[in-house]
Amino acid sequence: MNDVRLPVIADAQFARLFGTAPMVVSSAHGRVNLIGEHTDYNGGFVLPTLIPQATVAAVAPSSGRRVRVWSRELSADASLRAFHLGDEEAGQGWLDYVQGVTVALRAAGFEVGGFDLAVASDVPLGSGLSSSAALEVSVLRALRRLFDLDFDDVMLAKIGRAVETDFVGAPIGIMDQMVSSLASVGEALFIDTRTLATAPVALPAGTELVVINSGVAHHHAHGDYRTRRAECERAASMLGVVELRDVGVADLGRAQALPSPLDRRVRHVVTENQRVLDAVAAMRANDADALGALFSASHASQRDDYECSVAAIDQLVAIAQADPAILGARLTGGGFGGSIVALVRTGESPAAAARVAEGYTRASGHAPTVLVP
């Protein structure tokens, strides 16, 4: 996890696109959530960590209020996308994440001038590894330096989240932007998403991670993810609490009187919050077996109670859980596709990842990608 090679935007490439050299280059990593799924927008606990894959943003100021944008992955050849500050309009595909940054900055009281932006990323899209937050945080870091904006890393995360909730229209929590903005590669970051208190936590000695993209993409701005959030809000209202964070394990009896599927949604969120706390305790106690068991229990809860997994992910997780080197595995990210994370004994992750990927390909026909190691 410490072998980080950032994508590169060469000065010459930037000059060919925009006629000048970049003034600021910033980066931000994607993330994998170790445990604590669908708890962040319920005011709960999460435990993500950064992955080596990252997004790099190179910027230079331009005259007037014009913004020009190029993406190594999403632009055709040297084609540029453009908009004017104050005239941002949603519905422009991936450009919305850049337009959303300028809109969210303005809403937070920070004005920027025109700029040229080139982006390169090796965080795979639709993988459940927070490619959008890596883009938002890398661009916000670049603009903060370029225009000498006065906000800290927590405010940066809040602005990044507003990009998605207020402009793109994805009803996400704040976990992705918090970890991308505040964490360091090689450590997990425990986040209380209600207070935004954080604490670094190390993996148990003798363990490392495997992250595999299933090849089944997911989308947060529509569909079942939005439905799950609405179900949680409805359940909280019926229980008379502000957020499901306010429901504890001792309250599950009352929660189980809710109509289906709200009873199951609440059970997942409540038990998942507890699993995050238990995972932090296991990591601090160097109890790898307990942490692995929590990974697997979390997946079962996502599959059965929250119903945010899909058949291909369940198949991939089952293959991983059956591998002798793997202590536990689970769906990571918002679900409905994406990636899995597995806890593996140190030194065995490359071979274990290869075995799992090969077995999954044979069983499903999907083409997985091993992202870590």
Contact criterion met (CB below 8 Å) for 232 and 265: yes
Distances (CA, A) of 357 to 37, 142, 189, 218, 363: 23, 36, 27, 19, 10
Band (pLDDT 50/70/90 cuts) for residue 4 is low
Q: How far is CA 342 from CA 33, 81, 149, 300, 349, in A?
A: 11, 39, 39, 14, 9
Torsion of CA 11, 100, 75, 14, to 10 degrees: -10
Mean pLDDT, rounded, for 38-57: 96
pLDDT digits 0-9 by tens, 132-178: 999 999 999 999 999 999 999 999 999 999 999 999 998 889 999 99
The C-alpha atoms of residue 210 and residue 175 are separated, in whole angstroms, by 20
Q: What is the pLDDT of residues 243-290, one digit of tens each?
A: 999 999 999 999 999 999 999 999 999 999 999 999 999 999 999 999
Contacts of 357 (CB under 8 A, 6+ apart): 212, 368, 370
pLDDT of residue 221: 45
Average pLDDT over residues 190-214: 97
Q: Is 304 one of the annotated active-site residues of the chain?
A: no
Task: Of 35, 33, 38, 34, give the one whose Cα is nearest residue 305.
Answer: 38
What's the rounded Cα separation, in Å, for the pair 345 and 205? 9
* pLDDT at residue 1, as a whole number: 47
Complete domains list, the chain, with CATH: 11-199 (3.30.230.10), 203-372 (3.30.70.890)
Mean pLDDT rounded to a whole number for the chain: 95
Percent of the chain whose pLDDT exceeds 70? 97
**What percent of the chain stands above pLDDT 90?**
89
pLDDT band at residue 222 under the 50/70/90 scheme: low
- Predicted confidence (pLDDT) at residue 321 exceeds the cutoff of 70: yes
Among residues 200, 158, 171, 177, which one has the least CA distance to residue 334? 171
Provide DSSP, 294-330. HHHHHHHHIIIII----HHHHHHHHHHHHSTTEEEEE
CA distances in angstroms from 332 to 21, 329, 341, 373, listed in the order given = 38, 9, 6, 16
Read off the amino acid at residue 91. G
Cα–Cα distances in angstroms (integers) from residue 321 to residues 34, 207, 209, 293, 327, in the given order: 15, 15, 13, 10, 7
Catalytic residue among 176, 278, 305, 323: 176
The model's confidence at residue 334, banded by pLDDT at 50, 70 and 90, is confident
Task: Give the model's pLDDT for residue 355.
Answer: 98
Q: Which of 166, 114, 123 is nearest to 143 (CA)?
A: 114
Q: How far apart are the first and last CA of the chain?
A: 7
pLDDT given for residue 55 in this prediction: 97
Q: Residue 193, Cα to own-chain centre: how many angstroms?
A: 14
Mean pLDDT of 324-342: 95
Model pLDDT, residue 177? 97
pLDDT of residue 130: 87
Q: Which of 2-16, 98-112, 138-152 has the lowest mean pLDDT?
A: 2-16
Residue 242 has pLDDT above 90, yes or no: yes
Q: What integer pLDDT is reported at residue 219 of this predicted model?
A: 57
Q: Which residue matches tokens 């038990």?
A: 271
Q: 173 versus 128: which is more confidently predicted? A: 173
Q: Which two tokens stand for residue 64?
A: 């007037």
Specify the DSSP class assigned to residue 164. Answer: I
